Amino acid sequence: METQAGFLPRPSADLLAQLEHIYQDLHANPELSMQEHRTAAIAAAWLRQQGYEVTEGVGGTGVVGVLRNGDGPVVLLRADMDALPIQESTGLPYASDKTGTDRFGQATSIAHSCGHDMHVAWLMGVACILAENRPAWRGTVMAVFQPGEETGQGARAMIEDGMVKRFPRPDVTLGQHVMPLSAGQIGWRTGTILSAGDSWEVTMFGRGAHGSMPQKSIDPVVMAASAVMRLQTVVSREVAMTEAAVVTVGTLRAGMSENVIPDRALLRLNVRTFKTEVRTRVLAAVKRILEAEAQASGAPKPPEFSVLSEFPLTRNDEAATRKVVAALEQHFGADRVSEISPATASEDFGLFGTAWNTPSVFWMIGGIDPVRYEEAVKAGKVDELPANHAPDFAPVIDPTLRTGIEAMLTAASAWLCRGGTGAV
**102, 131, 178, 276, 320 from 120: Cα distances, Å:** 21, 17, 11, 32, 23
End-to-end CA gap in the chain: 29
Residue 210 among known ligand-binding residues: no
State the chain's maximal CA–CA distance in angstroms: 79
Task: Give the three-state DSSP class for 343.
Answer: strand
Angle of helix 276-296 versus helix 220-238 axis, rounded to 10:
150
**126, 149, 261, 327 from 129: Cα distances, Å:** 5, 26, 61, 17
The candidate with the shortest Cα–Cα distance to 420, out of 318, 327, 319, is: 327
The candidate with the shortest Cα–Cα distance to 414, out of 361, 365, 364, 366, is: 361
**Cis geometry, peptide bond prior to residue 73 (ω within 30 degrees of 0):** no
- Integer Cα distance of 219 and 211 in angstroms: 10
Strands 209-210 and 260-261: antiparallel
CA angle 45, 410, 312 (to 5 degrees): 75
Q: Residue 195: phi, psi to the nearest 5?
A: -75, 165
Residue 230: exposure state from Cβ atoms within 10 A (0-12, 13-18, ≥19): middle
Which residues are CB-contacts of 15 (< 8 A; sequence separation ≥ 6)? 1, 125, 128, 129
Residue 227 is classified by DSSP as H
- Integer Cα distance of 232 and 271 in angstroms: 12
Residue 329 among known ligand-binding residues: no
- Integer Cα distance of 10 and 16 in angstroms: 10
Task: Give the three-state DSSP class for 26.
Answer: helix
- Integer Cα distance of 4 and 101 in angstroms: 46
Residue 150 among known ligand-binding residues: yes
Binding residues for Mn(2+): 114, 116, 150, 177, 389
